[in-house]
């Protein structure tokens, strides 16, 4: 009988697998995804549209916090609500500007087929 190699399972031997210690959180997620490109795909978004998303999300959050604390701290709640509304208005402007103003920077003037 010819025995080429005997392997020892590290779990039964009381040793820890060194690879499990060095794996990051994202590596663990990548192992369980069916299509690994789902985790690494990126979408290029113009900077003004990204600023619009941030402005709308921050404004909504500030307005919500302001409305929640208004009964206990009326001046602070009112200031947060107004700041949230201004932030949402700026976010809307930044999001819509490239579509309305055709000469704005970052707007493509010709279609590439």
One-character DSSP codes across 25-63 = HHHHHHHT-SSTHHHH------HHHHHHHHHHHHHHHHH
Calculate mean pLDDT across residues 70-76.
Answer: 92
User: What is the rounded average pLDDT of the residues 42-69?
Assistant: 88
CA–CA distance, 26 with 4 (Å, rounded to integer): 36
pTM for the complete prediction? 0.54
- How far apart are the two ends of the chain, measured CA to CA in Å? 68
| Greatest mean pLDDT range, 3-7, 65-69, 91-95 | 65-69
Residue 101 has pLDDT above 90, yes or no: no
Express as a percent the part of the chain with pLDDT over 70.
58
Distance CA 43, CA 105 (A): 19
| In the chain, domain spans | 11-40, 47-100
Query: Could you tell me the sign of the dihedral formed by the alpha carbons of 54, 56, 59, 64, in that order?
Result: negative
Whole-number Å distance between alpha carbons of 82 and 76: 10
**If you average pLDDT over residues 44-68, what whole number do you get?**
90
């Amino acid at each position: 009988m010819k025995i080429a190699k005997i392997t020892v399972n590290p779990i039964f031997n009381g040793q820890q697998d060194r690879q499990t210690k060095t794996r990051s959180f994202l590596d663990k997620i990548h192992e369980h995804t069916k299509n690994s490109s789902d985790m690494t795909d990126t979408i290029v978004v113009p900077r003004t549209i990204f600023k619009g998303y941030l402005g709308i999300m921050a404004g909504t959050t500030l307005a919500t916090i302001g409305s929640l604390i208004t009964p206990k701290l009326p001046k602070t709640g009112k200031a947060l609500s107004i700041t949230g509304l201004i932030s949402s208005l700026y976010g809307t402007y930044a999001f819509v500007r490239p579509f309305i103003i055709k000469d704005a920077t970052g707007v493509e003037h010709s279609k590439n087929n």
